[in-house]
Every structure is written in C-alpha cells, then in structure tokens.
Structure 1
Amino acid sequence: MSGSTIIPWVVGNWKMNPMQANSQQLIQDLKQQLKQNPISEQQCRIGIAPISIALLSVQQQLLDASCEILSVAQDLSRIAGTGAYTGEVSAELLKDSHIDYVLIGHSERREIFGDNVNVIQEKVKNALNAEMKIIYCVGESLEQREAGQAEQVVLQQICDIAALVKAEQWNNIIVAYEPIWAIGTGKTASPEDAQTMHAKIREGLSQITPLGAEIAILYGGSVKPENAAELAACADINGALVGGASLNAESFYQIAQAFAKSK
C-alpha cells in the first residue's frame, strides 16, 4: 500500500546546536531561500526542531516566512501539567506556547537518556492528551539489522504505542524511521532498503488503524541533498527527519525541494 498521495514533511532536528547568533542567521538564510524559490505547503510541510531554549525565539522569527514553517519540540516531559519538576517541560506548557509538534522516541533519547518503553508511553500519552501532534521515531541498531531483527524491532516500537492512540488520534501521528546505524555516521540505508522498511511500517500501521495509508512516514539517517531525490522517489517515503544537513540552510532547503518536487 503506497503513501504516495501524502504531502511530504521535511523536519530539521537541530539537536544540541547551534549557538544563538548562528540560529538566528540560519533561520534568516532559510527564509531567504524560500523567498527566492518558494515551496508551498501543498508541496511539502517544513518544520524546525531547535533546542528548547530557542523554541519561542525561532517560532517568532518564522512568523514572517513566505510559507508556514512549524516549530517542533525535540522532547517533552513524562510528567503532565505543571508542578515541582525542575528542568522539565510538559506537553501542556508546550501547547500553551503554541508549540503543536514534538519528537518522541528519538534513538538518542532511548540510547543515551534512558527513555525506555514506559517513559516513551507516558510521553506519547501526555502529548496526545494535550492535543499535540507527534513525530514518533523508530529504528534498529546495526547489531539488530545484522541479526535479521530489523523489521521485528521497528514494528514492536510501533506496537509499543498502539494501545495509547485512540482511533481518531492517528491523524496526529507521523512516524520517522531512523536506522540507528545511519544517524550522524554518513551512512544511509539504500533507497531500496529504506523503501522496504517503510512499506513494512505502512503494512503494520494499516493493520492497526484504517488511517495507516494516510500516515506520513519520514526517513532519517544522514539525509543530505545528494541522496534526497532518490529517497523522495520511493513510494512510501513521505519526507525526511534531517539532522546535520539541517544546520545549513541551503542543504536543508535542497532536501525540502527534492521532496516537494517528487510527489
């Protein structure tokens, strides 16, 4: 089942980068690229996930962009609401600041910061209860892929949240497939391998919800201008979650343009 009619998404995950002055310049450069060569929202949806202390300033700076660029939180708290939780930012606080999108389950959160299944489930539940939209990250390690467990691992990660998502809430889910071995390494799954996994994810989603054919599935893992068009041509790859290349406005724009032209 193909997701070829889905409007693509290209989201830049800045991770723990950059410094404030560089952030401001990066946004200015991206807006200039889009002003010179527009990409409509019907061609490709664009988002930026900056560090938490820059979310509101980036959001403000994006208001006068020539097309809508969404501000995306990189994470949120497993704790809901407000209270005595030093260092935490809840779904409700994000929503109150008009941040409607959030990444959950990124491999760096899982691997480095101990976001296990229970933590991820709490975050998903909180985001959905606050009526946020989730970019839910899944992916296998090199060891799991070499052991032939890649599909099993990724589909299990989908199943980990399935019971938490009400029938109508699947409209608020975007899936991002990021093979862990390709994140920040310069290695990329071949378009054929990526498409195979995306098709398997779509098959799994379609068994869970009638909306499975409509859910955007993004590819992440060293996406760059040189491989974007080839990835974008795959029927079930509906966009990209971009790491390092999103810290260069021209590179990020070229990736968005590749997906805008492909569908």
Structure 2
Amino acid sequence: MSGSTIKPWVVGNWKMNPVQSNAQQLIEEFKQLLQQNPILEEQCQIGVAPISIALQHVQQQLADANRSILTVAQDLSRFAGTGAYTGEVSAELLKDSSIEYVLVGHSERREILGDTTEVLKAKVQNALNAGLTVIYCVGESLEQREAGQAEQVVLQQICDITAVVKADDWRNIVIAYEPIWAIGTGKTASPEDAQMMHAKIREGLSQITALGASIAILYGGSVKPENAADLANCPDINGALVGGASLNAESFYKIAEAFANTK
C-alpha cells in the first residue's frame, strides 16, 4: 500500500470549544449535510474530538448519523487504570466509555501544558495497552524550521515513542503533522512543503516498522475548504486534523468532501 491509496481521515479537533448548545447545533448541521450529500465510509474516516465532558454526549448524538463518525478524546492521563489521580481520565476509562480514539502530543499539550517526552510515551503506551487508536501529533516551530531543523525535530518526535510501540501496535497509530507556526495563525504550509515533510515522515516510518507504508499521515495546520483539495492531492497527505474550521459544519463537511473525492 502506498501513501496515495490509504483511506483518508478527517478529524475535527474542537479544542476548548464550544458551549453545549452550540455543539449540539454543530453536530445536527453536520449530520444534515451528510444526509443531503453522503460521504461514504469507504471514502473517508470522519471524526470529531470534543472536550472530555462532552465525549459521551457527542457520541450518542452521532449515533443516528447516516454513517459512522468517530468520537475522539483530545487527551488522556499518563496514569493507567483507576486510582487517586484527581482530574485525570485514563485510557481504560475512555475504553470503558466506548471511546476508541485519542489524540496524543498535540503542540498545545507540548508547548502550553508541559507534556514532556516521558509523559507522551506513557500516554501512548497506556492508550495502546487499552486497545485505543492513537492519533500522534508531531511538528516543528517556526524557529526550528528557519534553522533547518524541521525534519530532524519531527522525525525525533516519532522516534521518541518507538520504545513503547510494539510491532503490531503500529496498526493503531495515525500520525498528524502539524507545523506549530501554522496552527490557528491562518498560515498554511504550501502543499509542496507539506508533501515534502509527509514524504520524509513516510520514509522514517518505513525504516521503523514494516507497516510504515500503510500508516495514515494527516496534515494539521489551518486546514480550510479553500486549501483542502490541494492538500488532498498530495500523495502522502492522507487526511487532515482540522482546528477552527471544524467548528463550522459546512466548512468541516467541505474539507471531508475534498479528501473523500480526491483520494
């Protein structure tokens, strides 16, 4: 399988948004768009990552959609199981609530909330041990890119987790490349620059695991309807991790449609 033949993923990361009434409206509008113009499951995986207190409610609201829409946790605890860890939600508790997917390593977790390499390794390991699929985020800062370190930084972030990912576990890993300088800034890596990095990631994954050619690599950095088709046309860009545009049903639908129709 080559990068161009992987079924794309389009995942909306809602971050710390929106209020409950707006979330309900957003989901209903998105379901209606899918009803009017279906995007087949074999064309594209679609998921949304709401705030933790809304996970089960969102999952229930999505249950009557005309196709499967994944509910994705934005984070999980570095501690496994249950115990005296106030405020934490473990991989096992997510699994017990039928949440099967989780983001790990988003730049905001790394840069703002202090997730270290050791913390991220523990989160990845716990998620995989509990049977979750991990969307593992990597990306460089503008300073690192301008210093010519972008590829080194991104590939190192992938190598950071290899010690806790067993050979078969790579089937449950999705990579999301999110250049930090393009998140929420309106700036986007050109399709050419994004493809170049995705190809390097693909090359690195293929050196790490025999499954490297079949792992989906998503782009996340100010993806919007206007640039989705150009990104989707790149052979090693297998979908999108969408931020702000996922808070608008029509924008999110158009991004999913672009990847579904292009791949």
Alpha-carbon separation, structure 1, partners of 2:124 and 2:53: 22
**1:8 alignment partner AA:** P
Equivalent residues of 2:76, 2:123 under 8 A apart: yes
1:250 counterpart SS class: helix
Structure 1, residues 225-257: CA drift from partner, whole Å, max 9, x if none? 000000000000000000000000000000000
Letter in structure 1 aligned against 2:11: V
Letter in structure 1 aligned against 2:121: Q
| 1:18 maps to amino acid | P
Amino acid at match of 1:200: K
State the AA in 2 paired with 1:235.
P
Q: What is the letter of the counterpart of residue 68 of structure 1?
A: S
Please name the residue that 2:75 is paired with. 75
**Distance in 2 between residues matched to 1:237 and 1:185, nearest whole Å:** 21
Aligned equivalent of 1:197 = 197
Q: Given the alignment of the two structures, is residue 163 of structure 1 paired with residue 163 of structure 2, yes or no?
A: yes
- AA in 2 matched with 1:75: D
For residues 113-262 of structure 1, what are the structure 2 equivalents within 5 Å?
Answer: 113-262=113-262
2:20 aligned residue = 20
For residue 38 of structure 1, what is the amino acid of its counterpart?
A: P
Q: Secondary structure at the match of 1:10?
A: strand
Give the letter aligned to residue 204 of structure 2: G
> What whole-Å deviation, never above 9, does each CA across 1:148-171 have from its counterpart, x for those lacking one?
000000000000001211111100
1:59-117, Cα deviation, whole Å (9 max, x unpaired): 00000001100000000000100011110000000000000000000000000110010
**1:98-144: per-residue Cα shift (whole Å, max 9, x none)?**
00000000000000110010000000010011010000000000000
Q: SS of the counterpart of 2:251? A: helix
TM-score by length of 2: 0.99
* Percent of aligned pairs with the same amino acid: 80
Counterpart for residue 65 of structure 1:
65
Tell me if structure 1 keeps the 8 A contact 2:218–2:241.
yes
Q: What is the CA–CA distance in structure 2 between the aligned matches of 1:158 and 1:2, rounded to whole Å?
A: 19
Residue range with higher mean Cα deviation, 142-151 or 162-171: 162-171
- 8 Å CA contact retained: 2:2, 2:214: no
Question: Partners in 2 of 1:257 and 1:128 — Cα distance?
Answer: 30
Equivalent position amino acid for 2:53 in 1: I
8 A contact 1:141–1:179 mirrored in 2 = yes
Partner of 1:35: 35
Q: SS state of the match for residue 11, structure 1? A: strand
Tell whether the 8 Å contact from 1:2 to 1:199 is kept in structure 2 after alignment: no
Give 1:2 deviation, angstroms: 3.9
How much is the aligned-residue C-alpha RMSD, in angstroms?
0.7
Structure 2 Cα separation of the partners of residues 82 and 183 of structure 1: 34
Shift of 1:223: 0.1
Deviation at 1:23, TM superposition (A): 0.3
In structure 2, stretches of 5+ residues that fail to align are: none
Counterpart of 1:249, as a letter, is: A
Q: Distance in 2 between matches of 1:163 and 1:126?
A: 13
- SS in structure 2 opposite 1:17? coil
Q: Does 1:102 align with 2:102?
A: yes
Distance 1:2 1:182 in 2: 27
Cα distance in 2, alignment partners of residues 2 and 258 from structure 1: 19
Q: CA deviation at 1:214?
A: 0.1
Q: Which residue of 2 aligns with 1:6?
A: 6
Q: TM-score, normalised by structure 1?
A: 0.99
Letter in 2 for 1:175: I
SS in 2 for 1:228: helix
Aligned residues: 263
Question: How many angstroms does 1:216 deviate by?
Answer: 0.2
